[in-house]
Amino acid sequence: MSGLFITFEGIDGCGKSTQRDLLAEELERRGLDVLVTREPGGTAIGEDIRRILVSDASVHIAPTTELLLYVAARAQHVAELIKPALDADRIVVSDRYTDSTVAFQGYGRGLDLEMIAVLNKLATADLKPDLTVVFDLDPATARGRLGSRPIGGLLGAFDEQHSDFHKRMRQGYLKMARSEPSRIHVVDASGAIEETYSKVLALVLPMLEEVRRAKSEVRSQEEVRSSESEVRSQESEARKPSNP
């Protein structure tokens, strides 16, 4: 598998969806084959699950049910969209992935982190992003940015818990970034959209260059192999005794 897998993460209202769209436009402008997707969602099954989880705040979902639904949506997402896209050398940009479950259900709701790790591994066959950008923002600022927009899952129903919940998640994201510094990069999302976007580009562009270099290396190795095999077949033709 090659391609490039990028995920965007952060608390609600951190501005990651705007950044995702900006990056997708830029990658497409460069003629790259990009799949932009989101969790929960992306597939028909995932979008059905999203409706259960995110749209109807009046439904009380038990925390374990909620966890399993996010993970189920992810399993379908990886099998149906993400893995085939990466196998086809595409760039995948996903708005949320495994780290959201660790942050929201783990650090936010307090569900067992080891259990979440096992479920994430099961759902993804251990497929990890090449780059994860965490958009870091103070929960109060994030709440202000959301305005009257409904907040996903149980959050809408328990808005008074919103601040503490998001503070725990924010700390969770920062902890994850410290434990996987080569994959997870924290970007300060408190500034203007363009300011944040330039930080995203500074992370993504070197990776595109790496992918381009790796692909051109593979291409030149293939060219060398094919010209060597052509030489060999010409030599073996030349060695054949000529017909009288």
For ligand TMP, the binding residues in 104-143 under the rule CB under 6 A are 104-105
For ligand TMP, the binding residues in 21-80 under the rule CB under 6 A are 38-40, 54, 70
Among positions 3, 5, 7, 12, the unique one binding ligand TMP when judged by CB under 6 A: 12
From the list 79-87, 145-153, 191-199, 207-215, the region that binds ligand TMP by CB under 6 A is 145-153
CB of 54 to ligand TMP, least distance (A): 5
Sketch the per residue contact string, 154 through 193, with ligand TMP: x for CB under 6 A, - otherwise.
-x--------------------------------------
Closer of 32 and 72 to ligand TMP (Cβ): 72
Q: Across the beta sheet with 131-136, what order do the strands follow? A: 34-38, 91-95, 4-10, 131-136, 184-188
Which single residue brings its beta carbon nearest to ligand TMP?
152
Measure the CA–CA gap between 87 and 43, rounded to whole angstroms.
Answer: 18
Closer of 150 and 206 to ligand TMP (Cβ): 150
Closer of 41 and 205 to ligand TMP (Cβ): 41
